[in-house]
Protein backbone atom coordinates (compact mmCIF):
# COMPACT_ATOMS: atom_id res chain seq x y z
CA UNK A 1 0.00 0.00 0.00
CA UNK A 2 1.43 3.36 -0.99
CA UNK A 3 2.03 6.26 1.37
CA UNK A 4 -0.79 8.27 -0.21
CA UNK A 5 -3.22 5.36 0.24
CA UNK A 6 -2.21 5.07 3.87
CA UNK A 7 -2.75 8.81 4.29
CA UNK A 8 -6.24 8.55 2.78
CA UNK A 9 -7.13 5.60 4.99
CA UNK A 10 -5.78 7.39 8.06
CA UNK A 11 -7.88 10.44 7.22
CA UNK A 12 -10.97 8.26 6.84
CA UNK A 13 -10.34 6.70 10.26
CA UNK A 14 -9.91 10.17 11.77
CA UNK A 15 -13.26 11.19 10.29
CA UNK A 16 -14.92 8.17 11.82
CA UNK A 17 -13.38 8.93 15.21
CA UNK A 18 -14.62 12.52 14.99
CA UNK A 19 -18.12 11.27 14.26
CA UNK A 20 -18.05 9.22 17.45
CA UNK A 21 -17.06 12.15 19.66
CA UNK A 22 -18.58 15.27 18.11
CA UNK A 23 -22.06 16.26 19.30
CA UNK A 24 -24.69 16.84 16.64
CA UNK A 25 -25.56 20.49 16.16
CA UNK A 26 -28.57 19.96 13.92
CA UNK A 27 -31.11 17.14 13.61
CA UNK A 28 -29.74 16.00 10.24
CA UNK A 29 -26.05 16.60 10.87
CA UNK A 30 -25.39 12.93 11.70
CA UNK A 31 -27.08 11.95 8.45
CA UNK A 32 -24.89 14.39 6.54
CA UNK A 33 -21.75 13.00 8.16
CA UNK A 34 -22.86 9.45 7.39
CA UNK A 35 -23.53 10.32 3.73
CA UNK A 36 -20.13 11.98 3.46
CA UNK A 37 -18.44 8.97 5.07
CA UNK A 38 -20.12 6.53 2.66
CA UNK A 39 -19.19 8.72 -0.32
CA UNK A 40 -15.59 8.91 0.88
CA UNK A 41 -15.45 5.15 1.42
CA UNK A 42 -16.85 4.44 -2.04
CA UNK A 43 -14.33 6.81 -3.62
CA UNK A 44 -11.47 5.14 -1.74
CA UNK A 45 -12.85 1.84 -3.02
CA UNK A 46 -12.43 3.13 -6.56
CA UNK A 47 -8.72 3.71 -5.84
CA UNK A 48 -8.03 0.62 -3.69
CA UNK A 49 -9.44 -2.65 -5.10
CA UNK A 50 -11.10 -4.78 -2.44
CA UNK A 51 -11.50 -1.87 0.02
CA UNK A 52 -15.30 -2.09 -0.22
CA UNK A 53 -16.28 -5.74 -0.13
CA UNK A 54 -20.05 -5.13 -0.26
CA UNK A 55 -22.30 -2.12 -0.73
CA UNK A 56 -26.09 -2.27 -0.51
CA UNK A 57 -26.91 1.44 -0.50
CA UNK A 58 -28.35 3.61 -3.24
CA UNK A 59 -26.91 2.72 -6.64
CA UNK A 60 -26.56 6.39 -7.56
CA UNK A 61 -24.06 6.90 -4.70
CA UNK A 62 -21.80 4.16 -6.10
CA UNK A 63 -22.24 5.54 -9.62
CA UNK A 64 -21.23 9.02 -8.42
CA UNK A 65 -18.07 7.60 -6.83
CA UNK A 66 -17.16 5.88 -10.10
CA UNK A 67 -18.00 8.90 -12.25
CA UNK A 68 -16.24 11.58 -10.19
CA UNK A 69 -13.49 10.06 -8.03
CA UNK A 70 -11.36 12.66 -6.28
CA UNK A 71 -7.57 12.47 -6.33
CA UNK A 72 -5.98 11.12 -3.16
CA UNK A 73 -5.00 14.54 -1.77
CA UNK A 74 -8.59 15.72 -2.16
CA UNK A 75 -9.88 12.53 -0.51
CA UNK A 76 -7.57 13.13 2.44
CA UNK A 77 -8.70 16.76 2.64
CA UNK A 78 -12.35 15.68 2.51
CA UNK A 79 -11.78 13.20 5.32
CA UNK A 80 -10.08 15.84 7.44
Spell out the residues 6+ positions from residue 69 whose beta carbon is closer than 8 angstroms to its own: 43, 46, 47
pTM for the structure as a whole: 0.61
- Overall number of domains in the chain: 1
More confident residue, 72 or 59: 59
Instruction: Give residue 78's pLDDT.
Output: 84
Residue 21 falls in which region: left (phi positive, over 0), alpha (psi -120 to 50) or beta: alpha
For 20-61, the pLDDT digits (tens) are: 555 555 656 898 889 989 999 999 999 888 999 999 999 999
Spell out the residues 6+ positions from residue 17 whose beta carbon is closer than 8 angstroms to its own: none
Poorest-confidence range of 3-7, 27-31, 62-66, 68-72?
3-7
Range of the domain at 31: 3-79
**Can you tell me the mean pLDDT for 60-77?**
90
Instruction: Give residue 3's pLDDT.
Output: 64
Amino acid sequence: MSVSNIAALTAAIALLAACATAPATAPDSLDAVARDYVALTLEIGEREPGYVDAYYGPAEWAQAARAHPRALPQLAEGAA
